[in-house]
């Protein structure tokens, strides 16, 4: 191995690559915790990326860009609210159609801005970290959005573990009728969760076009990320911290694909670029088997099965995907 | 009956208003754009033949999806099933000698259908045995199929000298399906598609198997109590769906492109999913809607050149149509007969 190889710069680039994915997957986690699946991620991420880029370019302001991305995401969330929560249509059907439509909408509306110059969020050294050893310092040389994503993970962990509002969101996701009996309005909670979640998804899209893969074009480079975000929520067992770990894992696969490409030049680059996607999805099979109760086996108290369950176990909110009808 | 006509009119009106608003936002001439799409799809015989060439794979995939939707399965993996069909067909034709084209073509068709069915079966097994929801299993398999095609085109099957995105070496002329002079559609493909529609209709509405699929799709637990095994029917549905998609992929190779290209599936699988949703999961609207969707696809091809608009407009109209239809259904929730056709996600 290269003697100059070090884990810290790798971790730094993984964090950078993971930031938009963290935003997207955590946004979807909020949504699904309340019992609503927003299957439109793949399209809404692209649409948000496009509008963020265009807004930032026209206003020459990154903040306007990120806000535009967030509100575009929220707009797709609003469609989910209207169709799935208000009209009680099948969430998967609505989400899938919306996903394909938003993707094409992004290509159509973004066409005039394709391959043009725009502002970009640059990495900067976090204050006081430049005194650390040079290797450690590279870890803190990140764009602002990375720190935002990390803070968000902490915030969500705290929100779902320790706050009453977090408990209410979970209650609605588990059993909306029971929550209603306790004086909670499940529909209102779901609307709030979907809008907040899709705002974060939009921010994730903006993070692509303004920071990680700057610029707009067809293809942008964020294609397929939305589906990974959806898979990550399952992979993380609807737990914000584990969703975060899953995002890091996916980013690691992507980053290491680039180095593997140098080691195996005979294999076309596209294979390495696409390989992390199916890998991530097939990791869900793991989830399934580790989630099962272990066979009635006495003896070792800590088998590999228990270990896997510890990492992978997770249960979907009971009312996930079911529309609630309030009579 | 009158109500349905009204609903359809309402849906069309919503789609039209949405499209106009979109074109207005993009500061494009509304009338010129729409007439351009019309001229580019149904304006001439040659264009119409092009539309039919898209209609064939689209309708075949939709027929396959009707089976899986009937069992309440979201067979997103259909895109990969088309690709694997195309790969198998190309593989069967590689050693072909021009002396016996018919033998090899039959082999290609059978191989493609088996390949597509196998790929569908994989997605089905991931669901029944692996506990992965068919949407994610299917997506994963689509990506694997796409990777396989790229690897083949840039690796073992690359053209002598240069490997490029333009695909593998062209097949010898003898292995091309016959077409009318100057037109892009093969009569054989049209015939096969008509056959597929008829068979799909017969099986879904007039056979025990079709009834079983419907029972399981509507209520898997109840079906289990009646001695039906949902898993087995799920697998049967994805095998049928996969083989039809594989056939579509095969026809793309031997009838349209005459080689394997990276974008051999052209997104027709995803488009077919939209189409079947729009049809209300019934057979008889499928061929008509496929004509509409194919017309949009072909008609939008020249938009970038003539009006500097992105051809993705067709996709926006297609997706918008489905959302509009869902909207109309949604506001008529009082009509459970329609709503009950909508498959939902119950478990992951």
- Taking only the tens place, the pLDDT of each residue in B110-167 is 999 999 999 999 999 988 888 788 888 898 899 889 889 988 888 888 887 776 777 8
Q: Which of A92, A101, A323 sits opposite B316 (nearest CB)?
A: A101
Quick check: A237 pLDDT over 60? Answer: yes
Residue pair B139/B74 in contact (Cβ under 8 Å)? The answer is no
pLDDT of residue B102: 85
Express as a percent the part of chain A with pLDDT over 70.
89
| Chain A residue numbers touching B342 (CB-CB < 8 A) | 89-90, 93
Quick check: B337 pLDDT over 50? Answer: no
Q: Report the SS3 class of residue A142.
A: strand
Q: Give residue A5's pLDDT band: very low, low, confident or very high (50, 70, 90).
A: low
Question: Quick one: which of A98, A105, A284, A120 has its CA closest to A198?
Answer: A98
**How many Å apart are CA A263 and CA B316, to the nearest integer?**
42
Output A327 or B4, whichever has higher pLDDT: B4
Rounded to 10 deg, the angle between the B268-278 and B45-70 helix axes is 70
**How many Å apart are CA A254 and CA A232, to the nearest integer?**
15
Output A8 or B256, whichever has higher pLDDT: B256
Q: Give residue A59's pLDDT band: very low, low, confident or very high (50, 70, 90).
A: very high
Quick check: B348 pLDDT over 50? Answer: no
Contact state of B323 with A321 under an 8 Å Cβ cutoff = no
**Residue in chain A lying closest to B147 (CA):** A271
Quick check: A189 pLDDT over 90? Answer: yes
pLDDT of residue A327: 64
pLDDT of residue A6: 67
Q: What is the H or E stretch that residue B3 is in?
A: helix B2-25
Quick check: A235 pLDDT over 80? Answer: yes
Q: Give residue B236's pLDDT band: very low, low, confident or very high (50, 70, 90).
A: very high
Quick check: A243 pLDDT over 50? Answer: yes
Contact state of B147 with A274 under an 8 Å Cβ cutoff = yes
| Chain B residue numbers touching A111 (CB-CB < 8 A) | 26, 304, 308-310, 312
pLDDT of residue B290: 95
Quick check: A176 pLDDT over 90? Answer: yes
Q: Which of B33, B65, B151, B312 to probe the A interface (max A CBs under 10 A)?
A: B312
Q: Which of B315, B326, B344 sits opposite A100 (nearest CB)?
A: B315
Q: Which of B25, B140, B315 sits opposite A104 (nearest CB)?
A: B315
Q: Is A122 exposed, middle or buried (0-12, 13-18, 19+ CB in 10 A)?
A: exposed
Could you count the other beta carbons within 10 Å of the beta carbon of residue B142?
30
For A53-59, the CB contacts below 8 A with 24+ separation are A53/A110, A53/A113, A53/A118, A53/A206, A53/A209, A53/A210, A53/A215, A53/A216, A54/A110, A54/A113, A54/A216, A56/A118, A56/A119, A56/A210, A57/A113, A57/A116, A57/A117, A57/A118, A57/A119
Alpha helices in A34-90 (DSSP H): 41-59, 62-80
**Once rounded to an integer, what is the mean pLDDT over residues A215-229?**
86
**Once rounded to an integer, what is the mean pLDDT over residues A83-112?**
92
Q: Give residue A299's pLDDT band: very low, low, confident or very high (50, 70, 90).
A: very low
Report pLDDT digits (tens) over B160-208.
777 677 788 888 877 888 777 667 778 888 999 999 999 999 999 999 9
DSSP per-residue string spanning B92-137: HHTT--TT-HHHHHHHHHHHHHHHHHHHHHHHHHHHHTT---HHHH
Report pLDDT digits (tens) over A120-131.
888 888 777 777
pLDDT of residue A309: 57
Output A141 or B316, whichever has higher pLDDT: B316
Quick check: A2 pLDDT over 50? Answer: no
| Chain B residue numbers touching A327 (CB-CB < 8 A) | none
| Chain A residue numbers touching B309 (CB-CB < 8 A) | 108, 111
Q: Report the SS3 class of residue B238.
A: helix
Mean pLDDT, rounded, of chain A: 85
Query: In Å, how far is B237's CA from the nearest CA of chain A?
Result: 19
Quick check: A259 pLDDT over 80? Answer: no
The gap from C-alpha B35 to its chain's centroid, in whole angstroms, comes to: 26
Q: Which of B14, B134, B150 to probe the A interface (max A CBs under 10 A)?
A: B150
Beta bridge partners of A124: A142
Mean pLDDT, rounded, of chain B: 87
Report pLDDT digits (tens) over B209-232.
998 888 888 888 888 888 788 888
């Amino acid at each position: 191995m290269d003697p100059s190889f070090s884990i810290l710069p790798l971790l730094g680039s993984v964090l950078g690559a993971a930031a938009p994915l963290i935003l997207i997957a955590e946004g979807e986690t909020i949504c699904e915790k309340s019992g609503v699946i927003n299957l439109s991620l793949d399209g809404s991420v692209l649409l948000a990326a496009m509008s963020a880029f265009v807004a930032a370019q026209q206003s020459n302001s990154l903040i306007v860009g990120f806000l535009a991305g967030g509100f575009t995401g929220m707009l797709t969330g609003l469609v989910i609210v209207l169709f799935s929560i208000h009209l009680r249509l099948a969430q998967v059907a609505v989400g899938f159609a919306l996903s394909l439509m938003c993707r094409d909408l992004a290509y159509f509306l973004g066409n005039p801005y394709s391959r043009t110059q725009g502002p970009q969020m640059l990495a900067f050294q976090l204050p006081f970290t430049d005194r650390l050893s040079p290797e450690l310092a590279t870890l803190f040389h990140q764009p602002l959005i990375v720190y935002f994503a990390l803070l968000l993970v902490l915030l969500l962990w705290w929100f779902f573990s320790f706050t009453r509002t977090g408990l209410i969101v979970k209650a609605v996701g588990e059993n909306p009728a029971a929550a209603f009996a306790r004086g909670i309005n499940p529909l209102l909670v779901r609307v709030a969760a979907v809008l907040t979640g899709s705002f974060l998804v939009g921010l994730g899209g903006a993070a692509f076009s303004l920071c990680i893969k700057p610029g707009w074009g067809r293809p942008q480079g964020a294609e397929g990320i939305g589906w990974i975000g959806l898979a990550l929520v399952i992979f993380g067992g609807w737990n914000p911290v584990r969703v975060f770990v899953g995002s890091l894992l996916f980013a690691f696969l992507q980053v290491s694909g680039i180095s593997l490409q140098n080691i195996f030049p005979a294999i076309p680059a596209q294979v390495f670029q696409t390989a992390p996607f199916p890998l991530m999805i097939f990791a869900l099979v793991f989830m399934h088997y580790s989630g099962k109760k272990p066979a009635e086996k006495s003896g070792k108290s800590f088998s590999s099965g228990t270990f896997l369950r510890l990492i992978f176990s997770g249960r979907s909110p009971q009312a996930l995907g079911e529309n609630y009808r309030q009579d | 009956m009158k109500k349905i006509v009204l609903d359809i009119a309402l849906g069309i009106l919503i789609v039209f208003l949405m499209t106009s608003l979109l074109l207005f936002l993009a500061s494009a001439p509304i009338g010129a754009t729409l007439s351009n799409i019309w001229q580019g799809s149904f304006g001439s015989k040659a264009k119409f033949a092009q539309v039919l060439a898209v209609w064939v794979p689209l309708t075949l995939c939709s027929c396959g999806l009707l089976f899986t939707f009937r069992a309440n399965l979201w067979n997103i993996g259909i895109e990969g099933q088309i690709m694997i069909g195309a790969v198998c067909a190309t593989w069967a034709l590689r050693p072909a000698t021009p002396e016996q084209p018919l033998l090899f073509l039959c082999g290609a068709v059978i191989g493609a259908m088996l390949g597509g069915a196998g790929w569908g079966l994989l997605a089905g097994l991931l669901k029944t045995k692996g506990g992965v929801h068919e949407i994610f299993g299917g997506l994963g398999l689509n990506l694997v199929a796409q990777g396989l095609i790229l690897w083949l085109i840039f690796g073992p099957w690359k053209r002598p000298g240069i490997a490029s995105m333009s695909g593998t070496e062209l097949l010898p002329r003898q292995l091309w399906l016959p077409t009318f002079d100057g037109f892009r559609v093969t009569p054989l493909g049209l015939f096969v598609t008509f056959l597929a529609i008829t068979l799909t209709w017969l099986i879904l509405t007039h056979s025990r198997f079709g009834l079983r699929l419907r029972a399981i799709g509507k209520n898997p637990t109840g079906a289990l109590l009646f001695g039906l095994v949902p898993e087995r029917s799920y697998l049967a549905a994805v095998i049928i769906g996969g083989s039809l998609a594989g056939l579509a992929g095969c026809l793309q190779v031997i009838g349209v492109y005459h080689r394997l290209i990276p974008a051999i599936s052209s997104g027709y699988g995803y488009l077919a999913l939209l189409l079947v949703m729009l049809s209300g999961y019934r057979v008889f609207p499928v061929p008509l809607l496929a004509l509409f969707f194919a017309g949009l696809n072909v008609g939008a091809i020249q938009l970038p050149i003539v009006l500097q608009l992105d051809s993705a407009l067709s996709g926006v109209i297609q997706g918008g149509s489905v959302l509009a239809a869902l909207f109309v259904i949604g506001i008529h929730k009082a009509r459970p007969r329609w709503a009950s056709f909508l498959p939902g996600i119950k478990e992951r």
